[in-house]
Amino acid sequence: MTAATVSSELAANGRNIRPGRVITWTLLLIGGLIMVTPLLYMFSTSLKTAGQVYDLRLIPAAPTLDNYIRVVSDGRFLRWFLNSTFVALAVTVSNVFFDSLVGYTLAKFEFRGRYFVFLAILSTLMIPTEMLVIPWYLMSSQLGWIDSYWGIMFPGMMTAFGTFLMKQFFEGVPNDFLEAARVDGLNEFTIWWKIAMPMVTPAISALAIFTFLGNWTAFFWPLIVTTSRELYTLPVGLSSFAVEQSIQWEMIMTGAALATIPTLLVFLLLQRYIVRGVMLAGLKG
Amino acid sequence: MAKIELQGLVKEYGRTRVVHGIDLAIEDGEFVVFVGPSGCGKSTTLRMIAGLEDISGGTLIIGGEVVNQREPKQRNIAMVFQNYAIYPHMTVGQNIGFGLYTSKLPKAEKRKRIEETGKILGLEALLDRRPAALSGGQRQRVAIGRAMVRDPVAFLFDEPLSNLDAQLRGQMRIEIKRLHQRLGTTVVYVTHDQIEAMTMADRIVVMKDGHILQVGTPSDLYENPVDMFTARFIGSPSMNLLPGSMASGKLTVEGATWSGGTVSGTGEVRVGVRPHDLEVAETAGSGLSATGPVVAVEPLGAETLVHVEVGGETVIATAPGRVVPPIGSSVTVAAPTGSLHLFDVATEKALGRA
Which chain B residues have a beta carbon less than 8 Å from that of A198? Answer: 87, 89
A65/B284 Cα distance (integer angstroms): 108
pLDDT at B127: 93
pLDDT at B1: 66
Within A51-125, residue ranges assigned H as helices are: 66-73, 75-108, 114-123
**Measured between beta carbons, which residues in chain A are less than 8 angstroms from residue B87?**
177, 195, 198
* pLDDT higher than threshold 50 for residue A285: no
Residue B89 to residue A177, Cβ atoms within 8 A: no
Classify burial at A236, counting beta carbons within 10 Å of its beta carbon; exposed 0-12, middle 13-18, buried 19 or more.
Answer: buried
Q: Inform me whether the C-beta atom of residue B72 falls under 8 Å from chain A C-beta atoms.
A: yes
The per-residue pLDDT for A278 is 59
Count of alpha carbons within 13 angstroms of residue A141, beta-carbon side: 9
Contacting B residues, span 105-124, partner chain A, CB-CB under 8 Å: none
* Contact flag A184-B99 (C-beta cutoff 8 Å): yes
Question: In sequence order, which residues have a C-beta less than 8 Å from that of residue A134 and are 6 or more positions away?
Answer: none
Kindly list the residues from chain B whose CB atom is less than 8 angstroms away from the CB atom of residue A177.
85, 87
C-alpha span between A273 and A277 (Å, rounded): 6
Of B52, B73, B83, the CB nearest to A185: B73
Q: Which residues of A touch B101 (CB under 8 A)?
A: 184-186, 190
Q: Which residues pair with B35 in a beta bridge?
A: B191, B206
Q: Is B265 left (phi over 0), alpha (psi -120 to 50) or beta?
A: left
Pairing of strands B267-273, B313-320: unpaired
- Distance set, CA B292 to CA B89, B253, B289, B326 (Å): 60, 14, 10, 13
Distance from CA of A172 to the nearest CA of B (A): 14
Contacts of B287 (CB under 8 A, 6+ apart): B258, B259, B260, B334, B335, B336, B337, B338, B339, B340
Mean pLDDT of chain A: 86
Q: What are phi and psi of A192, to 5 degrees?
A: -60, -50
Distance CA A239, CA A258 (A): 14
Per DSSP, what are the bridge partners of residue B245? B252, B268
**At the topology level of CATH, where does B4-233 sit?**
Rossmann fold (3.40.50)
Cβ pairs bridging A and B (under 8 Å): 54
**pLDDT digits over A135-164, tens only?**
999 999 999 999 999 999 999 999 999 999
Q: Both ends of chain A: CA-CA distance in Å? A: 45
Angstrom distance (rounded) from CA A108 to CA A182: 13
Q: Show pLDDT as tens, one digit a residue, over chain B (354 residues).
A: 689 999 999 999 999 999 999 999 999 999 999 999 999 999 999 999 999 999 999 999 999 999 999 999 899 999 999 888 899 889 999 999 988 888 888 999 999 999 999 998 889 899 999 998 898 889 989 999 999 898 899 999 999 998 888 888 888 899 899 999 998 999 999 999 999 999 999 999 999 999 999 999 999 999 999 999 999 999 989 999 999 999 888 899 999 999 888 888 888 999 999 999 999 988 767 889 999 999 999 999 999 999 999 988 999 999 998 889 999 999 999 999 999 999 999 999 999 888
Say how far apart CA B338 and CA A234 lie, in whole Å. Answer: 93
Domain ranges of chain B: 4-233, 240-353
DSSP B132-153: GGS-HHHHHHHHHHHHHTT--S
Q: Name the pTM for this structure.
A: 0.79
Residue B6 near residue B58, CB atoms below 8 Å: yes
Question: Does the structure show a pLDDT above 70 at A281?
Answer: no
Say whether residue A111 is in contact with chain B using an 8 A CB cutoff. Answer: no
pLDDT above 70 (res A245): no
The pLDDT of residue B61: 96
**CA dihedral defined by B327, B332, B334, B340, rounded to 10 degrees?**
70
CA distances from A47 to A57, A235, A249, A257 (A): 12, 20, 11, 10
Q: Does A180 touch chain B if contact means CB atoms closer than 8 Å? A: yes
Cα gap A226→A180, rounded to integer Å:
49
Concatenate the DSSP letters of all residues of B193-205 into one string: -HHHHHHH-SEEE
Model pLDDT, residue A284 = 33
Return the pLDDT at B83.
Answer: 86
| Res A3 pLDDT > 60 | no
Contact A180 B50 (CB under 8 A): no
| Interface contact A186, partner B, CB < 8 A | yes
Q: Above pLDDT 70, what percent of chain A? A: 89
Give the distance from CA B336 to its chain's centroid.
28
Residues of A in contact with B150 (CB under 8 A): 184
Check CB contact of B146 with chain A, cutoff 8 Å: yes
Fold of domain B240-353: OB fold (Dihydrolipoamide Acetyltransferase, E2P) (2.40.50)
Average pLDDT over every residue of A240-264? 81
**CB nearest to A176's CB, from B51, B83, B89:** B83
B81 and A180: CB-CB below 8 Å?
yes
Amino acid residing at A155: P
Distances, alpha carbon A266 to alpha carbons A103, A203, A225, B275, B354, in Å: 25, 16, 27, 69, 81
Of B75, B85, B13, give the one whose Cα is nearest residue B50: B75
pLDDT at residue A13, rounded to an integer: 54
Q: Do B98 and A181 touch (CB under 8 A)?
A: yes
**Options 3.20.20.70, 3.40.50.2300, 1.10.3720.10, 3.30.70.2860; CATH of A70-284:** 1.10.3720.10
Q: Which tens digit of pLDDT belongs to each residue from A163-185?
A: 999 999 999 999 999 999 999 88
B132 interface with A at CB cutoff 8 Å: no
Residue of B nearest to A173 (CA): B85
| Interchain pair B150, A184: CB under 8 A | yes
Closest CB to A180 among B77, B79, B88:
B79
**Minimal CA separation from B83 to chain A, in Å:** 7
**CB contact at 8 A, B2 and B186:** yes
pLDDT digits (tens, 9 = 90+) for A60-72: 888 889 889 988 8
Least confident segment among A208-217, A256-265, B155-164: A256-265
Partner-chain contact B77 A183, CB within 8 Å: yes
Any chain B CB within 8 A of the CB of A75? no
Please determine, for residue A282, whether its predicted confidence score (pLDDT) is greater than 60. no
Say how many C-beta atoms besides its own lie within 10 A of residue A52's C-beta: 18
User: B85: which chain A residues are within 8 Å (Cβ-Cβ)?
Assistant: 174, 176-177, 179-180
Burial of residue A144 (CB within 10 Å: 0-12, 13-18, 19+) is exposed
Indicate which of A184, A192, A197 best probes the interface with B, i.e. most B CBs within 10 Å of its own CB: A184
